[in-house]
Structure 1
């Protein structure tokens, strides 16, 4: 009888450990380990600057009603929220993965039009990373628009998808 009890306990313990891992950062559709490494040392950035693919920045956001967005955000930001814009050079592969430390809306504008995301993953239980969005773009200049953030700071990683 003891062996059965111990075995059942071991099975249940292993299941709860696996469930706990799945409820955190492992619950994203793709790995976010690069973001976890980049976010702690992300340099400060202001709206309107440039971001480089392969890096993360820590934006000081401005009130959304003070930002000149190239195209209105796809999701209208609530009053009293924050946002920023940033220029990025899209690499020849044309794929970007933009990850955010907190809740906010992200649009990527290229050639005067908002680009539709091709994949999205969001997890509320991953410390320091809230969402990750992938875009397929043309190589060249693009603008990242952030809006609807409830806090004045937002860490943003701009990476090539793995």
Structure 2
């Protein structure tokens, strides 16, 4: 059973927004993806806890969720994870085209999912992380096994000692 898609009419054309297919609408077109731990860090800034007392129900639920599921609690570990993921990010070359880099050419979505889901196995990563991300050829199935396994091992080592 899938959730109904939201339709928006723009300039006479109907745009279908459906998160299950990766179509989130124009306001998310250039948005990056945050790790759950990064959102947790935002909500736990020192000296600002009193700010969160009068939150809307949605914001309060979001705060409770990230408090529960944040894998990394300290800023230095979160930075280390983000830096590791950025090494494997899809980077445009000087012409703005996606060039051949030494990394896995991961999209923002894939990077966030690898960190948030705490995936440790290549097959598990390929099964759990959908292939509809907006970067062409961004399926984990097309990624180099050795590089992906190396990245998953490095993330697992960070999780183990975090």
Category of TM-score, reference length = shorter chain? under 0.3
Higher relative helix content: 2
Rg larger in structure: 1
TM-score by length of 1: 0.26
Q: How does the TM-score come out when normalised to structure 2?
A: 0.26
Higher relative contact order (CA 8 A, sep 6+): 1
